[in-house]
Amino acid sequence: MNEKVTFTVDGKQLEGKQGQLLIEACEDSGIHIPRFCWHKRLDPVGMCRMCLVEIDTPRGKALVPSCTTQVSEELIVETESDTVKKAQEGVLEFLLINHPLDCPICDKAGECPLQDQTMAYGPGESRFIEEKRHFEKPIPVSDIVLLDRERCILCARCTRFSDEISGDPLIEFIQRGNKTQVNTFPDEPFKSYFSGNTVQICPVGALTATSYRFKARPWDLKKVSSTCNCCSLGCSVELNVSQNKMLRILGEDNEFTNQGWLSDKGRYNFEYLHSENRLLNIHSRENEDYQTITISDAIEKIKNKIKDLDNPEIKFIVGATAQMKNILQSTNLLTP
Amino acid sequence: MGSSFGEFVDTLGKGVKNKAIKAYIPGGASAPWLRGDQLDVKMTIDDVANEGSMLGSGAVVMMDEDTNLVLAAKSLVSFFAHESCGQCTPCREGTTWLENILERVASGRGRLSDIDLLLDVCDNISPGLTWPPKMTTICPLGPSATASIVSLMKDFRSEVEVLLPKKVVIG
């Protein structure tokens, strides 16, 4: 499997591993091939046809999707030939003819692969004068995820995620041909503990989360890498902050922990940060009544309490979500 | 096998009733059309392939001089649009788009640019519009839908043009 093979892309000699997908091998060598359906953590399906490249076959040049083609010795690939460019432009036009182009009110605008790749590879104008495909928009598929089937480009990322990764295939393709759509089973919501991941990997604004809808624009967000503290797994996350308010948490690809995924608890529980019921100050109970006190007062109080005890035995209860720093500090405090 | 399409229609099909044949499909909905003056083509795989079509499924369709070829192409494309599984983009979106354009043209709401548009959409499903077809799709169903349109534009373009508005030249 780890055998090295050499192949040619746009006249350049590249090296890849035997059995590696062409799109991945090109990516490793800095050649970007546009794509919608391909995701490195999901099985390739070759459905969107955006990553078409031209390869030399015994029967002449052929257009093949680079996400389902494996590299092999002496493979000759063209990623920027006129045929490839024409095909990619054609695919983008096909994807756009039934896309509502409601970017000004779409949450994805600004970080949308469809938008970005249309700018880079797509046609400048539409030739489509027919009526677009219409669906009721958006429909709630669960309490936290909304689905807009008009924006959907049917890349199967969400359906593959729930099938392969989270293992609860509650959203699926229904109908066929031009009527193909993603939907849940009747009377069965998309009640997955990992549903938020589908929102993150959706290459358009078809799947949106109730907590983030219409809250911000991606270019206004400050992005900070962090670690999720909702359980002991320690998933890598990206915190999206705007105007000093947490708006969204995304999973960050970390080979050793979460591989880019995140549970809904880690993704959406940040709402407590700005909750009205959140305790922001130290409270002291005086005669069945809570009073706000300062931290120095609180320490003074505790100090006096301990002083008054004879032979005190002190124990700390450290929460499961406490950081290593807190645990270390408590142990340091206890060991003289 | 071996006899010509003309003999085949006249003997087994008992001929066409006092009409001339304008075009015919030698082998199923996905095969490119042949013209009425090509009826002496022999019904063998090689002979039909030499004329740029195929025996394919073997379903021969004769279209006489009264046939509206635009509607004929439209109904063939509708068949493929209906049969498309919807998995890959060019076939799912392209076949329905072609169907819509042909319907518009057939009902007299065509535009001058529609001939180029039809051919270019076909080209995006089947690059080069060659025979046998190349494809941007997963399976050959999408490129099959383009065969009738390419034949229509190649041999019977005037039938489409009469349905389109006249070019207005000012001055």
Residue B52: the pLDDT is 93
* Rounded Cα distance, B100 and B114, in Å: 11
Nearest residue to B142 (alpha-carbon basis) of B80, B82, B97: B80
pLDDT bracket for residue A124 (50, 70, 90): confident
pLDDT tens figures, A278-318:
888 888 888 888 889 999 999 898 888 888 888 777 788 88
Chain A, residues 153-192, CB within 8 A of chain B, namely: 153-154, 173, 175-180
Whether chain B has a CB inside 8 Å of the CB on A62: the answer is yes
Cβ pair B124:A98 closer than 8 A? no
Could you tell me where in chain B the CATH 3.10.20.600 domains are found? 5-64
Which CATH number is correct for B69-161, 1.20.1440.230, 3.30.70.3270, 3.40.50.2300, 3.90.1300.10?
1.20.1440.230
| Domains delineated in chain A | 4-95 (3.10.20.740), 102-112+129-214 (3.30.70.20), 216-272 (2.20.25.90), 282-334 (no CATH)
Matching residue, tokens 């389902």:
A68
Confidence at residue A213, expressed as pLDDT on a 0 to 100 scale: 94
A63 touches chain B (CB under 8 A): yes
pLDDT of residue A1: 56
Record the tokens describing residue B129, joined without a space. Answer: 């519009």
A81, A82, A94: best mutation site toward chain B, by most B Cβ within 10 Å? A94
Please state the φ and ψ torsions of residue A165, each to the nearest 5 degrees. -95, -60
Closest to A166 (Cα-Cα) out of A290, A86, A259: A259
Question: In this complex, do B93 and A52 lie within 8 Å of one another by their Cβ atoms?
Answer: no
- Answer yes or no: do A87 and B87 touch at CB < 8 A: no
Q: What is the pLDDT of residue A305?
A: 85
State residue A143's pLDDT score.
93
Nearest-by-CA chain B residue for A82? B127
Asked if A64 has any chain B CB less than 8 Å from its own CB, the reply is no
In this complex, the residue of A83, A130, A179 whose CB is nearest that of residue B100 is A130
Residues of chain B with Cβ-Cβ distance to A37 below 8 Å are none
**Neighboring chain B residues of A175 at a CB cutoff of 8 Å:** 86
A184: confidence class by pLDDT, cuts 50, 70, 90: very high
In chain B, where does the domain assigned CATH 1.20.1440.230 lie? Answer: 69-161
For residue A236, the surrounding DSSP H or E stretch is strand A236-242
Banded model confidence at residue A144, pLDDT cuts 50, 70, 90: very high
Chain A CB contacts of B95 under 8 Å are 177-178
Sheet holding B21-25, edge to edge: B34-35, B21-25, B61-64
Determine the angle formed by the axes of helices B89-106 and B114-125, rounding to 10 degrees: 160
What is the fold, at CATH topology level, of the domain defined by B5-64? Answer: Ubiquitin-like (UB roll) (3.10.20)
Q: What is the mean pLDDT of the segment spanning A161-168? A: 96
pTM for this structure? 0.90
Q: What percent of chain B has pLDDT over 70?
A: 100
User: Of A47, A97, A179, which is closest to B97 when you measure between CB atoms?
Assistant: A97
- Burial pattern B132-158, b for ≥16 Cβ within 10 A else e, equals ebbbbbbeebbbbbbbbbbbbbebbee
Cβ-nearest to A94 among B93, B101, B138: B93
Q: Which residue type, as a one-letter code, is found at position B31?
A: A
User: Which whole number is the average pLDDT over A41-67?
Assistant: 94
Q: Which residues of B are less than 8 Å from A95 in CB distance?
A: 89, 93
Inform me whether the pLDDT recorded for A321 exceeds 80: no
A48 touches chain B (CB under 8 A): yes
The more confidently predicted of residues A287 and A143 is A143
Q: A62 to chain B: which residues are within 8 Å by CB?
A: 134
Please name the residue of chain A whose CA is at the shortest distance from the CA of residue B111.
Answer: A129
Q: Are A129 and A159 in contact (CB under 8 A)?
A: no
Best CA proximity match to A230, nearest among A272, A279, A195: A272
CB contact under 8 A, B97 and A130: yes
In angstroms, the CA A93 to CA A73 distance is: 34
Give the span between the Cα atoms of A240 and A242, in whole angstroms: 7
Q: Are B95 and B104 in contact (CB under 8 A)?
A: no
Which residues does chain A have within 8 Å of residue B136's beta carbon, measured at their own beta carbons? 49, 52, 63, 87, 90-91
- Report the percent of chain A where pLDDT is more than 70: 99
- Pairwise CB contact (< 8 Å): B89 & A130: no
- pLDDT number for residue A336: 64
Average pLDDT in chain A: 92
B45-99 per-position pLDDT tens digit = 999 999 999 999 989 999 999 999 999 999 999 999 999 999 999 999 999 999 9
pLDDT tens-place string over residues A219-264: 999 999 999 988 878 899 999 999 999 999 999 999 999 999 999 9
Q: Which residues of A touch B93 (CB under 8 A)?
A: 94-95, 97-98, 178
Show the CA angle centred on residue A112, arms to residues A106 and A115, nearest 5°.
95
In 3D space, the residue among B84, B85, B89 whose CA is nearest the CA of residue B145 turns out to be: B84
